[in-house]
Structure 1
Amino acid sequence: MKKRLPLTVIGGFLGAGKTTLLNRWLRDAKGLRMAVLVNDFGALNIDADLIAATHGDTVALTNGCVCCQIGDDLGRALVQVIEVATPFDAVVIEASGVSDPWRIAQIGMAAPELSLEGVIVLVDASAVGPQSRDPLLADTLARQVRSADLVVVNKIDLASGEALSAARAWVEATAPGTPCIQTAQSTVPLALLSGLPLPAAVQGAGHACGHECRDPHHGHGHDHSHDHDPDHGALFQTWSAQPEAVIPAAAICAWLRDVPPGVLRLKGLLRTGRGAQGEDEWSEVQFAGRHGTLRKAAGPTDGARAGVVAIGLRHQLPEQALKDFFAG
Structure 2
Amino acid sequence: MISAKSTIAIAGAGSIGCYVGGCLALAGRQVILLVRPRFEAALRTGGLHVTDLDGLDRLLGPGELSATADPSVALARADVILVTVKSGATEEMARIIAAHARPDAVVVSFQNGVDNADRLRLGQRRVLAGMVPFNVVGSPDGDVPLRVHRASDGKAMIEDGEPGLVELLDVDGFGVEVHADMRAVQWGKLLMNLNNALVALSDLPLATELADRRWRLILAAQIDEALAAMKTCRIEPARIAGLRPVLLPKVLRLPDWLFKLLARRMLAIDPRARSSMWDDLQRGRATEIDELQGAILRLARKAGTPAPLIRRTVALLRAAEQEGRGSPGLTPEAFTDAGVGQPV
Asked if these proteins are the same fold (TM beyond 0.5), I'd say no
Structure showing greater relative contact order (alpha-carbon pairs closer than 8 Å, 6 or more residues apart): 1
**Structure with the higher strand share, 1 or 2:** 1
Report the TM-score when normalising by structure 2.
0.28
Report the TM-score when normalising by structure 1.
0.29
